[in-house]
Amino acid sequence: MALKIWLDTGLVDEKDAKISVFDHGLLYGDGVFEGIRVYGGKVFELEAHIRRLFESARAIRLSMPMTRDVLIDAVEATVKANKVEDGYIRLVVTRGVGTLGLNPFTCKKGGLFIIADKIQLYPEELYDKGMKVISATTVRNHPLALPPQVKSLNYLNNILAKIEALDNDVPEAVMYNHEGYVAEATGDNVFIVKNNVVCVPPVEAGSLEGITRAVVIRLARKEGLEIVEKNLTRYDLYVCDEFFLTGTAAEVIGVVQIDGRTIGDGTVGPVTRLLREKFYGYARGKEQ
């Protein structure tokens, strides 16, 4: 069945969902986006995603083409039109149609489209056995060049690191900032466990302030786990007891090897399994 895409002001058939070649989102990566999950027909953490989208837009001086309430209605209408029960939403706002050249003020109105469809980022077996990752040589964008809190359409930095991972036959790569501290993976946030303390890099290190990251931190604290936000080095990743990633598409997934070095005993650890279980329940409305 062909998808229904929300394009600017309403739903259109997938074949009619087209944007101009003069859109600055296409020409310059000038725009922002959110990836959002749907569980049991309900959009997960929608208000948090919309809030982050508006903050990203404000940070780059992009005027949103609709209000928060109207946008929330548009997201839910797109999910309903495509009968998505368990799936993924890609919500994109571009600077809009302008002229050739960098000047963003030639764009009179922002463009917007919403896709709702199925997704499976990693095979199920990886969640049971854990994944292997590498350290990327591509350095994360300097936070003074582009604030990590902005979820922009320009993902080339992450894509180059992703290519390194795929060239090494692993699905993910850890990116480090200009000071050598852990920033994030190419599409997920990084967590480690050492002596039963859960550690996560601060946003200031160059990581996106992930929605799933925030939920997992809340769930961990509810379970009585100590959470510490601090700078992590490659050494910390090498000697930790457990290592896992969080993200909208990835949810919570364990890492059992980095740069050919085994993490802990080489299996997905008990804290990771606990937090995945708790997240799974929370996302599907089984846990509060």
Strand pairing class (10-13; 4-7): antiparallel
Label residue 1 by pLDDT band (50, 70, 90).
confident
Percent of the chain scoring above 70 in pLDDT: 99
What are the pLDDT digits (tens) for 266-285?
999 999 999 999 999 999 88
Mean pLDDT of 96-110: 96
SS (H, E, C) the chain: CCCEEEECCEEEEHHHCCCCCCEHHHHHCCEEEEEEEEECCEECCHHHHHHHHHHHHHHCCCCCCCCHHHHHHHHHHHHHHCCCCCEEEEEEEECCECCCCCCHHHCCCCEEEEEEECCCCCCHHHHHHCEEEEECCCCCCCCCCCCCCCCECCCHHHHHHHHHHHHCCCCEEEEECCCCCEEEECCCEEEEEECCEEEECCHHHCCCCCHHHHHHHHHHHHCCCEEEECCCCHHHHHHCCEEEEEECCCEEEEEEEECCEECCCCCCCHHHHHHHHHHHHHHCCCCC
At 275 the pLDDT is: 98
124-283 placed in CATH 3.10.350.10: no
Domain topology for 4-117: D-amino Acid Aminotransferase; Chain A, domain 1 (3.30.470)
At 107 the pLDDT is: 97
* CA nearest to 5, candidates 105, 75, 104: 75
Q: Is residue 79 a contact partner of residue 85, using CB atoms and an 8 Å limit?
A: no
Average pLDDT, the chain: 96
- Position 158 pLDDT exceeds 70: yes
List Cβ neighbours of 218 (8 Å cut-off, separation of 6 or more): none
Mean pLDDT of 9-26: 97
State the catalytic residues: 151
What are the pLDDT digits (tens) for 61-93?
999 999 999 999 999 999 999 999 999 999 999
Where do the domains of the chain lie?
Answer: 4-117, 124-283
The span from the CA of 98 to the CA of 102, in Å, is 9
At 271 the pLDDT is: 98
- Please state the φ and ψ torsions of residue 116, each to the nearest 5 degrees: -125, 120
Label residue 194 by pLDDT band (50, 70, 90).
very high
- Position 168 pLDDT exceeds 80: yes
The span from the CA of 185 to the CA of 25, in Å, is 24
Label residue 287 by pLDDT band (50, 70, 90).
low
List Cβ neighbours of 80 (8 Å cut-off, separation of 6 or more): none
- Position 286 pLDDT exceeds 90: no
- Position 97 pLDDT exceeds 90: yes
Percent of the chain scoring above 90 in pLDDT: 92
Label residue 119 by pLDDT band (50, 70, 90).
confident
- Position 187 pLDDT exceeds 60: yes
- Position 288 pLDDT exceeds 90: no
Q: What is the pTM of this model?
A: 0.94
